[in-house]
Structure 1
Amino acid sequence: MKKMRILSTITIALICSLLSFSCKEQPKTTEKADVFAQADSIIKNIQIPQFPDKEFNIMDFGALADGKTDNTQAFIKAIAECSNSGGGKVIVPAGAFLTGPIHLKSNVNLHLNEGATVLFSTDQKAYLPMVHTSYEGVELMNYSPLIYAYKQKNIAITGKGTFDGQADNENWWPWCGNSKYGHVEGTPQQRDDHNLPALRKMNEEGTPVAERIFGEGHQLRPTFLEPFECENVLIQGVTFTNAPFWVIHAIKSNSVTVNGVTVRSHGPNNDGCDPEYSKNVHIVNCTFDTGDDCIAIKSGRNNDGRRVNIPSENIVVENCIMKDGHGGVVMGSEISAGVRNVFVRNCSMDSPNLDRAIRIKTNTLRGGFVENVFVRNIKVGQVKEAVLRINTYYGIYANQEGDFIPSIKNIHLEDIEVENGGEYGVLIKGRTENPVKNVTFTNVHIKNAKTPLSVENSEPVQFTNSSINGTAY
């Protein structure tokens, strides 16, 4: 009897132990719910800048709203006075205000009233002296961005007005080298030896950034809005149009909110929003109608990305509309320091000129990694090429092969309806040395894709309650 009691005690202990182990493991089964709770947590922890209740109207600093007078000094004086007084709101009233570059300072909210338009000068010398900036994922000294903040904290651009970069086929765009954008054969352009080839060589050789001198005499276009090494940034409500190059480029910045912004700009390389080496970014309620990627998450090109070694991470995109563009939400191609923890939900993507919905692009010169991408509740009306494209052979130019094998894993799409899937439902080109891993589709239904699947060098895509062209996968 005593022996039986001992056995019973041991049995009960084993059962309790198993139950306890089971309970400890239980959270793993609620991973999906936890994933978007993480997105909510990222948003909650982003600091929205606050400002004293003080206003500084640029008209009080000599500005004229005739669209012709150079108001650069009025902007400089108003921003300096606002910052030196402890911060507040610099007001741009209704009217058209011509200016050179605007440099923001800490604790300043540049606010465009409804009906205000800021026109940026077409005199390229106005964007000198050069500043520390970046071009296609490589740091350099170049023309100032049209709106620039360097190592500032607690800054904002708000309102209902418009920033017009005045780039067109006669200003900035021809430098891209494409006749579609006004380039004339035989005139200078960015692929000339003293431009991109020179910058690429400096990147490869590790030339100090201070010695990468471009600007006047070179043809590398400035970005539109660039917070560089900034913290607590808000961009809200305004419209951007006619950009020289990338539109919103937050680089090496933390705690960035882009809310209710409209980007309507169809020039060359007119990406809508490019977080680079940045973390804790919230892009919400925006509309992108662009000449390139709508949102492109980046982290440096080749050696420069590996030198800086700051991944872009904790990025939430929600309630946005994507119209024209090369991709809706994109990671790459300047991605050498990696991207992780990207959350996309409740967005609409629809245009005959939208090439892909979700896109990852890199190669073995870029290398880098993309991991933990979660996409949920997306409505796709029409895309040209693919709903999901992962390409590890990306390259516009020749010689894009190197020794840095990319790593791409944990890409999850859920609750997505696609009316016209384009050429491919899913298009993946991984590498034999490191195949793409853990791509899942849950409740994804794609109609009218010419080729349902084209998958190379990837673990099998895992489908749950999903279909392409009416066929369950």
Structure 2
Amino acid sequence: MKNLKIYFTLLLCAICSFGLVQAKDYNASYFGIKSNGTTLNTTSIQRAIDFISENGGGTLKFYVGRYLTGTIHMKSNVTIHLEEGAVLLGSTNINDYNVGTPNNALIYGKGVNNVGITGKGVIDGQGKEVAYNLMDYIHKGIIKDPLDYDRPRSNRPKAIYLRECNQVTVKHVTVKNAADWVQTYDQCEDVLIDSITVDSKVFWNNDGIDIVDCKNLKLLNSYIDASDDAICLKSHDASKMNENIEIRNCVARSSANGIKFGTVSAGGYKNIRIINNRVYDTFRSAFTIATPDGGKVENVLVDSLYAYNTGNAIYLRIGARWNKGRQGSIDGVVMQNIYIEVPADKPDAGYAFEGPVEDNPRNISPASIIGLKGQPVKNVVLKNVEIVYPGGSNPNYAFRGTSAKELDSIPEMEAAYPEFSQFKELPAWAFYLRHVEGVTFENVKFTAKDKEYRPAVVMDDVKNAELKNVQYIEPNKKGKKQLVLYKSTLKK
């Protein structure tokens, strides 16, 4: 009898425990949330999130259907789970969002912990429609918002914005058609973003993902196709920085940059690992680090990057734009096992919002590492790197020579927006370096498919450069001098 009582007691405990576990999954329909695509569910979804958070946390599950909503606020210990076939649909009415607040978004969270967005469903911001709806209100004077090139500056909603959140998980979802940056993780810690798809090319400034001053963040196994920078690390706070960031096994397509640090770079970047990624059809650089605002960049590894049909290969740049007296720096960047192809034609042709060709130089730009006078980029290694260029630059079309006068005439442009195209014509076809201290090229191959009037590599004010097994492949070069050193020294 005693053993029987123990058995029933344990069975009851098991049943109760199972009930508690099950109670943490909540069907959206329990809260009157409609899946017809026309009923506005903002209030119902918010009440569901609030209820789940207040009752110990859990998962709000959406099944097949279209769930129309405006801004919803994430709360601690809540996961939104979108089953395959479920679409969280952003309202096209701008008044259904938090207009007038910083970083307006469809899914918004600040200072919350243990939150998630998961499942094989879709978040569709309907960004084109909501942006034009917003512009209509602006033109009527109902909403005040500066227009940059007839684009609203401040009130377009992002798809996801999380600020100062810890223990964040975003997995498997598809995020599409944002009106602004697609997703931003701002000063968040312990973040896992895994196996997501971004397809957002319906309006301007559609950065695929912005990682801002985060710590311990992983972006893994994801596909990102955006009309602005695909994968972008930023630093908005001079007292913060992106630290311990891993970007691995991702594919990026963009009508701006593939993988980029900046442009806003107030604090900086430390311990960044970018491993086994693909970039293609990218108007600007496959990989770029820009620190014009006083931010510090240190201990960066780029390993196994493969880029095809990209407007520029690599661009590293120190500037002095909004630095407020602080000096930015780049010190300790290793780029290895890299293959990049640069085409003769416009690589993002066919995008709804193509990059502005009028800003580009007339001849194809080389990869570049450019610091400032007295403020060099330091300790950069390129190892096992191959970059293929179309060649065929035309000196009669646009010319930049390598005489002392011509090299000195290249402006510093420290306050300009940092892009590979900012200097217009550059004097090298493969790689241009200026104001650099400590650079190593090891097992590096540069190929021009057609004859070039320019040398392959130009170094201007470069100290302690080391070249090991560097190849220059160019048709009909006939003993042409491919390396030009100006105010520069090689390691002996």
Q: TM-score, normalised by structure 1?
A: 0.72
Query: Does the 8 A contact of 1:189 with 1:219 survive in 2?
Result: no
Secondary structure of 2:48's counterpart equals: helix
Alpha-carbon distance between aligned partners in 2 of 1:403 and 1:368, rounded to the nearest angstrom = 11
Kindly provide the CA deviation profile for residues 416-449 of structure 1, in whole angstroms up to 9, marking residues without a partner as x. Answer: 1223367344212211131111111100111125
Cα distance in structure 1, aligned partners of 2:242 and 2:41: 36
Out of 252, 263, 273, the position equivalent to 2:198 is: 263
8 Å contact from structure 2 (residues 103, 161) kept in 1: no
SS at the partner of 2:34? coil
Question: What is the CA distance between 1:219 and its match in structure 2?
Answer: 4.2
Residues 1:240 and 2:175 aligned together: yes
**In structure 1, what residue type is equivalent to 2:328?**
P
CA distance in structure 1 between the aligned counterparts of 2:339 and 2:215, rounded to whole angstroms: 29
The answer to whether residue 39 in structure 2 is matched with residue 104 in structure 1 is no
TM-superposed CA distance for 1:173, in Å, is 5.9
Residues in 2 aligned to 1:465 and 1:159: alpha-carbon distance in whole angstroms:
44
- Deviation track 1:112-140 (CA, whole Å, cap 9, x = no partner) reads 0101111111222222376xxxxxxxxxx
Is 1:114 aligned to residue 110 of structure 2?
A: no
Tell me the residue number matched to 2:160: 225
C-alpha contact 1:129 1:143 (8 A) present in aligned 2:
no
- The alpha carbon displacement at 1:70 in A equals 0.5
- CA RMSD across the alignment: 3.0
Q: State the match for 1:389 in structure 2.
A: 315
Instruction: Tell me whether 1:412 sits opposite 2:334 in the alignment.
Output: yes
CA contact (8 A) 2:320 2:328 kept: no
**1:75 Cα deviation after fit:** 0.7
TM-score w.r.t. the length of structure 2 is 0.70
1:85: how far off?
2.2
Looking at both structures, which has the greater relative contact order when contacts are Cα pairs under 8 Å and sequence separation is at least 6? 1
* Residue identity opposite 2:251 in structure 1: I
Q: 1:271, 1:449 → 2: CA distance?
A: 28
For 1:160, the equivalent position in structure 2 comes to 120
Q: Which runs of 5+ in 1 are unaligned?
A: 1-50, 131-140, 197-216
Shift in Å, 1:142: 3.1
Work out whether residues 72 and 101 of structure 1, in 8 Å CA contact, stay in contact via their aligned partners in 2: yes
Which residue number corresponds to residue 149 of structure 1? 109
CA contact (8 A) 1:361 1:394 kept: no
Partner of residue 298, structure 1: 234
**Cα pair 1:405 1:433 within 8 Å, conserved:** no
Q: Contact 1:330/1:360 (CA < 8 Å) preserved in 2?
A: yes
- Aligned residues of 1:188 and 1:219 also touching (Cα < 8 A): no
The structure carrying a bigger strand percent of its residues is: 2
Q: Does 1:434 align with 2:414?
A: no
CA distance in 2, matches of 1:93, 1:171: 25
- Tell me by how many angstroms 1:461 deviates: 3.3
Tell me the alpha carbon deviations over residues 391-411 of structure 1, each in whole angstroms, 9 at most, x when there is no partner: 33487xxxx686333211111
Q: Kindly state the Cα deviation for residue 164 of structure 1 after the two structures are TM-superposed.
A: 0.8
Residues in 1 aligned to 2:132 and 2:208: alpha-carbon distance in whole angstroms: 16
1:57 to 16, 27, 52: 27
How far apart, CA to CA, are the structure 1 residues paired with 2:153 and 2:252? 33
Residues of 1 paired with 2:158 and 2:342: CA distance? 33
Contact 1:89 1:108 in 2 (8 A): yes
User: 2:130 is aligned with what amino acid?
Assistant: N
Report which stretch shifted further, 69-78 or 453-462.
Answer: 453-462
Q: Any idea what the Cα deviations from partners look like across 1:30-52, whole Å, max 9, x if unmatched?
A: xxxxxxxxxxxxxxxxxxxxx95
Q: Is residue 42 of structure 2 the alignment partner of residue 72 of structure 1? A: yes
Counterpart contact for 1:52–1:87, Cα < 8 Å: no
Distance 2:433 2:283 in 1: 21
- Which AA in structure 1 matches 2:38? K
User: Is the CA contact (8 Å cut-off) linking 1:294 and 1:328 kept in structure 2?
Assistant: yes
Residues 256, 281 of structure 1: 8 Å contact kept: yes
Does residue 379 in structure 1 map to residue 306 in structure 2? yes
SS at match of 2:181: coil
1:419/1:437 CA distance change after superposition, 3 Å: same
C-alpha deviation, 1:174, in angstroms: 8.2
Report deviation, 1:144: 3.4
Please say if 1:313 is aligned against 2:272: no
Q: Which residue of 2 aligns with 1:279?
A: 215
Q: Aligned residue for 2:440? A: 462
Is this contact kept in 2: 1:323–1:354, CA < 8 A?
no
Identity of aligned residues (%): 31
1:42 is matched with none
Q: Does 1:445 align with 2:386?
A: yes
Equivalent-residue separation in structure 2 for 1:66 and 1:371 (angstroms): 50
SS at match of 1:234: strand
Greater percentage in helix? 1
Q: Given that residues 94 and 134 in structure 2 are in contact (C-alpha distance below 8 angstroms), is that contact kept between their aligned partners in structure 1?
A: no
Report if the CA contact (8 A) 1:258-1:282 is conserved. Answer: yes
Residues 367 and 175 of structure 1, relative CA distance in 2, 3 Å threshold? farther
- Matched-pair contact (CA < 8 Å) for 2:58–2:78: yes
Tell me how far 1:183 sits from its aligned partner.
Answer: 10
Cα distance in 1 for residues equivalent to 2:444 and 2:209: 31
**What's the counterpart of residue 23 of structure 1?**
none
- In the alignment, the residues of structure 2 paired with residue 449 and residue 394 of structure 1 have an alpha-carbon distance, to the nearest angstrom, of 33
User: Does structure 1 conserve the Cα–Cα contact (< 8 Å) formed by 2:319 and 2:328?
Assistant: no
SS of match in other structure, 1:82: helix
d(CA) in 2 for partners of 1:124, 1:176: 10
